[in-house]
Structure 1
Amino acid sequence: MNHVSYTVEERIGYLTLCGAQGNKMTKDFLDEICGIFQKKIWKSRIQGLIIMGEGRHFSSGADVEQLIHNTVSMSDICRGEVRSYPSWFLDFKQTLNGIAAMNIPAAAGVTGVCIGSGLELALACGIRICADSSRIGFPESTFGLLPGAGGTLRAAELMGSGNALLAVLEGNLMKGTEAVKAGLFQKSCSKKEVKRECEAALERAWSMKTQC
């Protein structure tokens, strides 16, 4: 089963999350995302990237039970100290760092639910646009976990360390309009306008680049 699709239209690459259960991020899902970036996106000549979810949701986050099992069973743990993490986890974290460091504009277009690992993916994009009605947040603490792929640091940069800490520890979800006020996203709009707004944001980014 394909969890992700990638197409190119004119100069924009479109990465679409199309997994089951609201694009839940299983190990296979994460492996596929990392593979597409390594084999296609990093090697392409696109001038902009848009990441969106197919269907109602951007992503319902990690498959918590599966990822906990895989993380514990594949990590090198000695006397309670984690000496090394599994490659799939490090690959995903490196992929997010790569997105954040891209020399082309990358936009996350969020509709529906965007939580946990899904939010970490969105925050790696320099442009973040969500639907007014989206539900956004880091619920990991309600499972006794914390975001582990750089999302906490990016959230702290965007909304301040104190607000980010509170958001992570409480694990509450906020509406899209609230996420904009908090600084996590730059703009919210109606669900049907999210893709168009992302494309318009890329156009503005290109225009600003040519003026510099």
Structure 2
Amino acid sequence: MNNANVFMKATNIHKSYSHATGELEVLRGVSLEIKEGEALAILGSSGAGKSTLLQIMGTLDRPTSGELTCEGRDLLAMNDDEISQFRNAEMGFVFQFHHLLSEFNAVENVMIPCRVAGESPKLAREKALHLLEFMGLAERAHHFPNQLSGGELQRVAIARSLVRQPKILFADEPTGNLDSQTSGKIQELFFRLKEEMKLALVIVTHDLTFATRFPKVYRMKDGSWFS
């Protein structure tokens, strides 16, 4: 493969957890390359190891062994502060559950990554409002999470993940908690975002229909790729 446009590379990733009866091996030497602006899906049943891989590639967890680089930088060599700053600047995350803060309204929730990065409240608010308008939520910007529907909550979470203009968006079962009609709309939104924002997009899902819409699909079982 031409490495010139490889954005992120995971090589021989292993992950094990210790428990009372020994070691539980969750990932068994998984390797994956993600090109700039590429969209791919990781498909597998519950317990296959796909979410663990996403968390490692997103620097939310560290592997037991292996290598992880992004734009040629060794992510595993960074300390906690360095990796947190890198993650907040370069990566966005969407999960099955929206994880919005109930005491903040929609625009305040979207502003959080900017405020963590030290941006001014004015600039953070402008960015957040722009994204909420893009998501079709301009009129819901000052509503609190308990005033929003499931689909609206997930769109706010997506806006929050994009507010710092990351180069890659990781999504873990992003439609798993939605009804079929809302799920379809959120799926369409991901593809629109990928094209308009030139993102690399990595989706973890057990939904075969969703996964097969991607140009590249990796199937995982028992911590390894399979055909």
Higher normalized strand content (fraction of residues): 2
Q: TM-score under structure 2 normalisation?
A: 0.32
Name which one, 1 or 2, has greater alpha-carbon Rg.
2
- Larger RCO, structure (CA 8 Å, separation 6 or more): 2
Q: TM-score under structure 1 normalisation?
A: 0.33
